[in-house]
Structure 1
Amino acid sequence: MYFYKKVSSANISPTAKTVYRALLYYANRETWSCFPSIATLSKDTGLSKRTIIRQIAVLEKEDLLLRIHRTREKNNGKTSNIYFLN
């Protein structure tokens, strides 16, 4: 409930709140981390991939989210980011 209240009272757009709530859906309830792809978030919210990316940046700037870029060990290829809800 803490995270719902935190995002509801944040001074961010309804679109950013939608992305945050989508991330919250996937979050591990012990670590508050998750790693859905941008495509998954886009599908879940109905927002474009570009909009998801922009709103994640807003959430980071507002200190509601910590994003860590991940790469594959074998070839350093990109994989989904890991997000920690603050």
Structure 2
Amino acid sequence: MGQVTVRYFAGARAAAGVHEEKVQLPADSTVQDALAALERRHGDELARVLRAASFLVDGVAVRDRSAALPDGIGLDVLPPFAGG
């Protein structure tokens, strides 16, 4: 079992209702596993945001949702931002 610290920004924070939370995941979990757990926890509003969001794993952009999440790592959820 491992723990991931999830930080939400902008619209993701509004959808989750929290700025940061800890998520317990089985060993060898991936970004997708974490996202599935977050969708179960927070429901459809966050699920919509997660489908369009970008992610940072310990500050590094990750596009591959099958990327591993080692115990104690941070996962930042960045929704699409408007502006130019």
Higher strand residue share:
2
**Same fold by TM-score greater than 0.5:** no
Structure number with bigger Rg: 1
Q: TM-score range by the shorter chain?
A: 0.3 to 0.5
**TM-score of the superposed pair, with normalisation by structure 2:** 0.35
**TM-score of the superposed pair, with normalisation by structure 1:** 0.35
Q: Which has the higher contact order (CA 8 A, sep 6+)?
A: 2
